[in-house]
Amino acid sequence: MAFPRSRSRRLRRTPALRAMVRETQLRPDQLVLPIFVGEGQNGPQPIAAMPGVSRHTVDSAVELARDAASVDVGGVMLFGIPLDKDPEGSGAWADDGVVQQASRAIRERVDGLTVGADLCLCEYTDHGHCGLLDGHGGVRNDATLALLARTAVSQAEAGAEVLYPSDMMDGRIGVIRDALDAAGHEDTVLVAHSGKLASAYYGPFREAAGSTPAFGDRRSYQLDPANGDEAIREALQDVDEGADLIMVKPAGPALDLIRRTKEATRMPIAAYQVSGEYSMIKAGAAAGYVDEAAVMRESLTAIRRAGADVIATYFAIDAARALNPAA
């Protein structure tokens, strides 16, 4: 129908009408809260580049996880910050590693929350890269796979239900899946960081996790942000190797890849609203340029609208409270 019989504004006239026909729904249980857990701390340590975010002790991580569960956030993703680092990143698979300790504690003391762990070596290596190095400073792909598999089994045995391989080594999903299955962890969920771009938006995270490379960068293993087709090939390969969800990050600058990955794989899609996205919103709000709550909600809705089923975001608790004020 043409105007005047057709009037699109009819359904925008009142809040009740707008809610009735709203296409994209954002729920707290679709959100995952990243948590940094550090060794050797007396209490939470605020991260200057990420206002409102801290490095936590195991006990304070449990309290934060409990806060998330109380407002129906779907899960947490744990990042470990060890005291000691080495060329292999051996702290990643230590039975008493900080992520393993936090996973056990949260599983034992918090109900109604999915416990997940980042699966990478960069926070644990003394050089800051995501795998073993060769004699020329390059990352050894195949040698790194065994260490990732060892870390995966250790994290699963400590209670992590969802693992987030974020290293971008070729073939790691299949190797990790085989190792988990062989160890009796066939129900452990793998969220493959298939669409992880070599992005400038990760800067605040590297301060938070102490994972800035000591030399060079990660462009030889993370995706060129200009390459959409390559991201889809990576996603399809990870699906073939046994991924349960596909991750795209950073979320806001890659809304097109979220949509394309969803359409190409027909798999559940996760997206990570990364540290730079979070910190830019915080900085804009602190300067009085934008309404933090409104921009937070609009940005998360856009990620959902693009096709993400799960969103990892440092805003998870604030967003959940805004979505469910009674909680």
User: Annotated catalytic sites, by residue?
Assistant: 196, 249
CA distances from 50 to 110, 197, 204, 274, 291 (A): 25, 21, 6, 11, 17
For residues 89 and 146, what is the distance between their CA atoms, to the nearest angstrom?
Answer: 12
Number of helices (H), then strands (E), in the chain: 11, 10
For residues 242 and 113, what is the distance between their CA atoms, to the nearest angstrom?
Answer: 24
What is the identity of the amino acid at 115? V
Where is 33: in which H helix or E strand?
A: strand 31-38
- Give buried/exposed letters for 250-266 (b at 16+ CB in 10 A, else e): bbbbbbebbbbbbebbe
Query: Residues 238, 164: contact at Cβ < 8 Å?
Result: no
Is the peptide bond prior to 213 cis by the omega test (within 30 degrees of 0)?
Answer: no
- Give buried/exposed letters for 192-213 (b at 16+ CB in 10 A, else e): bbbbbbebebbebbbbbbbbee
CA distances from 278 to 161, 275, 281 (A): 26, 5, 5
Query: Residues 53, 47: contact at Cβ < 8 Å?
Result: yes
Sequence length of the chain is: 327
